[in-house]
Structure 1
Amino acid sequence: MNDRSAAGARLPSEDAVEAAILAVAGRPDALRTITPEEVARSLAQGPDWQSLLPLVRRCAIRLAEAERLVIYRKGKPVDPADFRGVYRLGLPPQG
């Protein structure tokens, strides 16, 4: 991916963002769910993390559609193709 943020910095690839989502969600110290901001901050230093939020959302949707991630809104799983507003991310339940 050759997208650039408003500041001209190179954005990480979708594969790198997906790996970061799964890594942050799978950390032993992670709560049951994580925020998209946590993922973006793990990928960018300083204020540039905000420019990554749309990319994090796209990648989270892709992972959820592949059943590798669950997107939550108000504590309940949502359809990755149809949700709005504030959301959290979590690994699928085991078993």
Structure 2
Amino acid sequence: MSDDNTNDLPPKDPAPLDPVATVILDQLSALPADKSAAPDDIARAYAEMRRKPSDGRDLYKRYRRAVKEQAIFLARIGRIEITRRGEPVDPDDFKGVWRMRLKR
């Protein structure tokens, strides 16, 4: 037996991002570098992608929780920052009005 812990398998590709996370990154990438986005803006963009003719105008509200969960995930892995009053906050401990921006 060898003591070497190398694995002969090729490295796995990272798991694909959730569609909501992809929309967050796409929307933030489209903003100027010094701007941030409100979670409702992202939820509206995602809702418009999924809208059916029978959906009401408040469809975006259905996606608010998913946007927050994916924003927290993206902040934890270092892709975005969650901000309050323009300052980055801990993604595991924030309340109230918040925004998001690409990591600076």
TM-score (normalizing by structure 1): 0.78
Note closer, same or farther for the CA distance 1:75–1:20 as it changes in structure 2 (3 Å cut).
same
Once the two structures are TM-superposed, the CA of residue 51 in structure 1 deviates from its matched residue by 1.3
Tell me the distance in 2 between the aligned counterparts of 1:42 and 1:30: 19
Amino acid in the other structure paired with 2:23: A
Residue 63 of structure 2 corresponds to 52
Give the superposed CA RMSD.
Answer: 1.6
Unpaired segments ≥5 residues, structure 2: 1-16, 49-56
Residue 82 of structure 1 corresponds to 93
Pairs within 5 Å for 1:1-95: 15-28=18-31, 32-45=35-48, 46-93=57-104
Once the two structures are TM-superposed, the CA of residue 90 in structure 1 deviates from its matched residue by 0.2
**Higher Cα radius of gyration:** 2
Q: 1:40-63: CA deviations, max 9, x gaps?
A: 011114211011111100000000
% same residue? 35
Question: Residue 24 of structure 1 contacts residue 30 of structure 1 at CA under 8 Å; is this kept in 2?
Answer: no
Tell me the distance in 1 between the aligned counterparts of 2:18 and 2:36: 21
Point out 4+ residue stretches in structure 1 off by more than 3 angstroms. 28-31
Once the two structures are TM-superposed, the CA of residue 29 in structure 1 deviates from its matched residue by 5.5
Amino acid in the other structure paired with 2:58: P
| Paired residue total | 80
TM-score (normalizing by structure 2): 0.71
- 3-state SS of 1:44 partner: helix
Unpaired segments ≥5 residues, structure 1: 1-13
